[in-house]
Amino acid sequence: MFKEFKEFAMKGNVMDLAVGFIMGLAFGKIVSSLINDVIMPPIGRLLGKVDFSNLFINFSGGTYASLAEAKKAGAATLNYGIFINTVIEFLIIALALFIVVKQMNRLRSKPAPAPAGPPTTKECPFCFSVVPLKAVRCPACTSELKG
């Protein structure tokens, strides 16, 4: 059983998946930092010094200056600012993956077209069906075809 598992784990697809997963996690951390540390502060500044990660609705009735203070007090909160950050993070990751996949598809070698030989079919002048070159009648409309 161990031998079978080893063969399965060492197959190329499993190793590629593992590497891709690890790279995805690292990429996710980079994007999180980009959102939280680079993109959202200027947007918050433009919107009147708003810190999106600190936007929340308090359901407990008390007043808290920050989300960290509300969490420390055990208050029930709806953290919509963190949700906004997460949505923007997702959109950036999706855009980056779209660009990567599009470029990979563009760079992927396309199969060479089949060499063009003499035609083996012709078109019926009456119904425009494709018929064999040697046909004397169209199988679709039964018209007589001239050679």
- The whole-number pLDDT of residue 147 equals 64
And the tokens for 44? 């918050």
Look at the chain and report how many structural domains it folds into: 2
Query: What pTM was computed for the model?
Result: 0.54
Do 129 and 100 share a domain, yes or no? no
Do 28 and 46 share a domain, yes or no? yes
**Contacts of 122 by beta carbon, 8 Å cutoff, 6+ apart:** 130, 131, 132, 133, 135, 145
Do 84 and 32 share a domain, yes or no? yes
Please report where in the chains the tokens 């784990």 appear, as a residue: 9
- The whole-number pLDDT of residue 58 equals 86
Q: Residue 104's domain spans which residues?
A: 2-110
Do 22 and 66 share a domain, yes or no? yes
- The whole-number pLDDT of residue 61 equals 80
Do 95 and 127 share a domain, yes or no? no
Do 69 and 138 share a domain, yes or no? no
Do 61 and 92 share a domain, yes or no? yes
Do 84 and 22 share a domain, yes or no? yes
Nearest Cα neighbor of 58 from 80, 76, 43, 40 is: 76
Do 121 and 137 share a domain, yes or no? yes
CATH number at residue 95: 1.10.1200.120
Do 139 and 74 share a domain, yes or no? no
Do 95 and 129 share a domain, yes or no? no
Q: Per DSSP, what are the bridge partners of residue 144?
A: 137
Q: Which positions of the chain have pLDDT values less than 70?
A: 12, 147
